[in-house]
Amino acid sequence: MKRRNFIKNAALTGAGVAVGSTLLSCADNDTKETKIVATTNNKSQVSLPLVIATWHVEEATAKAWKVLQAGGNALDAVEQGCMVEEANEKGQSVGKGGLPDREGNVTLDACIMDKHGNCGSVVYLQNVTHAVSVARKVMEDTPHVMLAGKGAEQFAYEQGFKKENLLTEASKKAWEAWKIKSEYKPIINIENHDTIGMLAIDKNGDISGACTTSGLAYKMAGRVGDSPIIGSGLFVDNEIGACVATGLGEEVVKTVGSFLVVELMRQGKSPQEACEEAISRIVNKPNSNYKDFQVGYIAVNKQGETGSYSIHQWFSMTKYQDGVNEQIQSDFFNKS
């Protein structure tokens, strides 16, 4: 993930951060195919297939796009796309290399949902990198939706997943430095916000989604966030559209965020309007302390229109459509 580079580049080049329908920035130097575009989504550009993902994950969307272009289905695309970030040890909020909990254990949460409304999820999974694939196995090979902890891990080994140490040297060092301070105050957009959520529509027009994370860094042992909770971290309704969340999971769970976005689209809102409304449900709560945390949503509807919105600046969505892999800077609530 190169979100921090993006932020730095945008600042250094004086690239615009205005929102609305204005063009935002010049090309990202890292990849020729990736460019930063308008924050609003142009309906006339809609064509299938397409894939969107939270944050700046163009390698993951490229993988998913390859699957879709070859005629693969949306379910395979989102699983394989998410696996790219799970295997990326530099991404410290997903899969291998994820930051651990307070005790030094890396624990993963993931879920996946297909065009039929089938879903699978794993929570508090240890020692297995590809949590999203274990979630898919739960969906396809068990009578259940969710497996947790030791049971999920045991199931993964039975399915042929290999045992790995997920705590890399870099994450161990970061945890040891954190232990000295022992202060639990995640920094917005910098710590704890690299969960990858991915939504795809294949050439048949069918939608699937997936979400995978190591959760909040330095969380309490046993803590589970929104990402593996169907309806909170992810929801897909093939008739309507899909949504996936990132940010402080506790706040997403309290509003059943992704289900809310899909239901708002069912009532006629565009994906952009639905994401904005779901964020407003969080920030407009009495005594909401939204200034202290980030939540972001991305959504797609059955027509292939997309939207993304967050509480604070610097949330972005990566979108691969019409052969172009681009980072779209999200509009956001807190302009103060």
Positions in the binding site for ligand SD4 (CB under 6 A) = 93, 192-195, 213, 215-216, 225-227, 246-249
Burial annotation 21-51 (CB, 10 A radius, 16+ → b, else e): eeebbeebeeeeebbbbebbbeeeebebbbb
Instruction: Tell me whether residue 72 or residue 233 sits nearer to ligand SD4 (CB atom).
Output: 233
* Distance, CA of 134 to chain centre: 17
Instruction: Tell me whether residue 73 or residue 294 sits nearer to ligand SD4 (CB atom).
Output: 294
- Looking up tokens 């589970």 gives 224
Cβ atoms of 149 and 143 closer than 8 Å: no
Cβ atoms of 17 and 312 closer than 8 Å: no
Among 52, 19, 123, smallest CA distance to 301 is for 52
Shortest separation between residue 44's beta carbon and ligand SD4, angstroms: 32
- Looking up tokens 């259940």 gives 144
Catalytic annotation on 195? yes
Instruction: Tell me whether residue 15 or residue 174 sits nearer to ligand SD4 (CB atom).
Output: 174
* Residue 26 in tokens: 């010049």
Burial of 20: CB neighbours in 10 Å, binned 0-12, 13-18, 19+: exposed
Three-class SS of residue 59? helix
Three-class SS of residue 123? strand
Shortest separation between residue 253's beta carbon and ligand SD4, angstroms: 8
10 Å Cβ neighbour count for 124? 22
Shortest separation between residue 175's beta carbon and ligand SD4, angstroms: 16
Three-class SS of residue 150? helix
Instruction: Tell me whether residue 126 or residue 195 sits nearer to ligand SD4 (CB atom).
Output: 195
Q: At what angle do helices 74-87 and 58-69 cross, to 10 degrees?
A: 150
Shortest separation between residue 233's beta carbon and ligand SD4, angstroms: 6
Among 163, 171, 307, smallest CA distance to 241 is for 307
Instruction: Tell me whether residue 16 or residue 104 sits nearer to ligand SD4 (CB atom).
Output: 104
Shortest separation between residue 308's beta carbon and ligand SD4, angstroms: 14
Determine which one of 195, 255, 306, 318 is catalytic: 195
- Active site amino acids: 195
